[in-house]
Amino acid sequence: MTDTNQPSTPRYMLSDVDFDEAEERAVLDVIRSKWLSQGPRTAEFEKRFAAFTGAKFALATSNCTTSLHLAMLAAGVGPGDEVIVPSLSFVATANCVLYVGATPVFAEIESLERPLISPDSVARVMSPKTKAIVPMHYAGYPCDIAGMRAIAPRRPLRIIEDAAHSVGSRVDGRMLGTIGQIGCYSFFANKNLPAGEGGMVTTDDPGLFEDMKLRRSHGMTSLSWDRMKGHAFSYDVVGVGYNFRMPELTAAVGIVQLEKLERHNRERDRVFGEYVKRLIGHPKLTIPFAQEAAPGARHLMPVVLGESVDRKAFMQALREAGIQTSIHYPPIHRFSHYARLAGGTPKPMPLTEAYAARVVTLPFHPALSDSDVATICGEIARALG
Ligand SMILES: *Cc1c(COP(=O)(O)O)cnc(C)c1O
Cβ of residue 92 lying under 6 Å from some atom of ligand 1: yes
Which atom of ligand 1 is the closest one to the Cα of 190?
1
The residue whose CB lies within 8 Å of the most ligand 1 atoms, and thus the one to mutate among 62, 91, 162, is 162
Cβ of residue 186 lying under 6 Å from some atom of ligand 1: yes
Ligand 1 centroid vs 106 CA: distance in angstroms?
Answer: 17
Ligand 1 centroid vs 283 CA: distance in angstroms?
Answer: 33
Cis? peptide before 138, omega within 30° of 0: no
pLDDT at residue number 233? 83
Cβ of residue 188 lying under 6 Å from some atom of ligand 1: yes
Q: Are strands 130-133 and 359-361 parallel, antiparallel or unpaired?
A: unpaired
pLDDT at residue number 289? 98
Euclidean distance between CA atoms 93 and 67, whole angstroms: 10
The residue whose CB lies within 8 Å of the most ligand 1 atoms, and thus the one to mutate among 65, 165, 299, is 65
Which atom of ligand 1 is the closest one to the Cα of 138?
13
Write the residue with the smallest CA distance to atom 2 of ligand 1.
Answer: 164
Euclidean distance between CA atoms 143 and 243, whole angstroms: 31
Which atom of ligand 1 is the closest one to the Cα of 63?
7
Ligand 1 centroid vs 95 CA: distance in angstroms?
Answer: 11
Per-residue pLDDT reduced to its tens digit, 200-228: 999 999 999 999 999 999 999 988 778 88
Give yes or no for a contact between 80 and 321, defined as CB atoms under 8 angstroms apart.
no
Euclidean distance between CA atoms 249 and 41, whole angstroms: 8
Euclidean distance between CA atoms 385 and 38, whole angstroms: 53
Tally Cβ neighbours within 10 Å of residue 227.
13
Euclidean distance between CA atoms 137 and 119, whole angstroms: 13
pLDDT at residue number 96? 98
Spans of the chain below 50 pLDDT: 1-4
Which atom of ligand 1 is the closest one to the Cα of 198?
7
pLDDT at residue number 153? 83
Cβ of residue 63 lying under 6 Å from some atom of ligand 1: yes
Write the residue with the smallest CA distance to atom 6 of ligand 1.
Answer: 64
pLDDT at residue number 20? 98
pLDDT at residue number 1? 46
